[in-house]
A = this chain, B = another copy of it.
């Protein structure tokens, strides 16, 4: 059996194992068995537990980012409405995290599994946040907002949105009854952020002294 195929099997098993038990508690024995290969082969191909976990993160990160970028367009598409692109991106995000819950679990949990892994996830988050920031800014401009203002103010909203999306994805995957569809989840968030954006553009702010 060719190496490529075996490697994919191993990564599949590893993602499942790490998702279920976390990095520390997942055992190489179990992962190898799950993949249908012997442990030495896992080590031959993937070097160490740490490298295996990193490989999982990288693969899942690439798949997720690809899924989102695939529908938002990799670059600015002149004429396309940013709002629509954002909506598409969110739908793709929640669809992907719902379709590959283990993959998403690995990405989300990697955050709390020590330095080398947290960096990997931070990079992904930065990548996505940048994309969202761009789309929000262009949406604001579309809505008649001053360009300078948009760039300055919208970043905070983007951070909040990405954080909220992460939480929602976890929460949606955890549901066992009344599981929301990706579009419903996306709509919830869009609803939230879009009103936030509009208020922001208008300069409305909440304050305790109000």
A residues 181-200 near B (Cβ < 8 Å) are 183, 187-192, 194-196, 198-199
Number of copies: 4
Interface presence of A39 (CB below 8 A): no
Do residues A208 and B187 form an inter-chain contact, with CB atoms below 8 A?
yes
Q: Which residues of B contact A21 (CB under 8 A)?
A: 114
Do residues A195 and B187 form an inter-chain contact, with CB atoms below 8 A?
no
Do residues A195 and B194 form an inter-chain contact, with CB atoms below 8 A?
no
Do residues A194 and B168 form an inter-chain contact, with CB atoms below 8 A?
no
Binds B, one of A9-17, A62-70, A155-163: A155-163
Do residues B167 and A191 form an inter-chain contact, with CB atoms below 8 A?
no
Nearest CB in chain B: distance from A92 CB, A: 13
Nearest CB in chain B: distance from A90 CB, A: 10
Do residues A196 and B206 form an inter-chain contact, with CB atoms below 8 A?
no
User: In which size bucket is the chain A interface?
Assistant: 35 or more
Q: In the complex where A22-B113, A113-B22 touch, is A195 in contact with B188 (Cβ < 8 A)?
A: no
Nearest CB in chain B: distance from A21 CB, A: 7
Q: How far is the CA of A87 from the CA of B209 in the complex (A)?
A: 11
| Main DSSP-derived SS at the A contact region | helix
Closest to A192 in B: B196
Q: Which residues of B contact A22 (CB under 8 A)?
A: 22, 24, 112-114
Map CB proximity to B onto A21-33 as digits: 1 under 8 Å, 0 otherwise.
1111100000000
Q: Contact partner of A192 among B167, B192, B198, B208, CB < 8 A?
A: B192
Do residues B167 and A194 form an inter-chain contact, with CB atoms below 8 A?
no
Q: In the complex where A24-B22, A194-B206, A196-B196 touch, is A188 in contact with B160 (Cβ < 8 A)?
A: yes
Q: Which residues of B contact A167 (CB under 8 A)?
A: 160, 163-164, 166-167
Closest to A164 in B: B164
Closest to A163 in B: B167
Interface presence of A171 (CB below 8 A): yes
Closest to A122 in B: B174
